[in-house]
Amino acid sequence: MPREVKDPDEFIKISERAVECRVVKLEEEGVAKVKARTRRYLYTIKIPLSELEEFLKKLKCSNIKFIE
66 pLDDT above the threshold of 90: yes
Q: Are 61 and 45 in contact (CB under 8 A)?
A: no
Q: What is the pLDDT of residue 1?
A: 81
Among the residues of 1-68, which ranges form H helices?
A: 8-15, 52-58
Rounded to two decimals, the pTM is 0.89
Query: What number of H helices and E strands is found in the chain?
Result: 2, 5
Q: Are 47 and 7 in contact (CB under 8 A)?
A: no
Task: Tell me which DSSP letter residue 49 carries.
Answer: G
Chain length of the chain: 68
User: Measured between alpha carbons, how far is 51 from 11 in angstroms, rounded to an integer?
Assistant: 15
Q: What is the pLDDT of residue 68?
A: 80
Question: Per-residue pLDDT tens for 7-65?
Answer: 999 999 999 999 999 999 999 999 999 999 999 999 999 999 999 999 999 998 989 99
Correct CATH for 3-67 of 3.40.50.2300, 2.120.10.30, 1.20.210.10, 3.30.720.90? 3.30.720.90
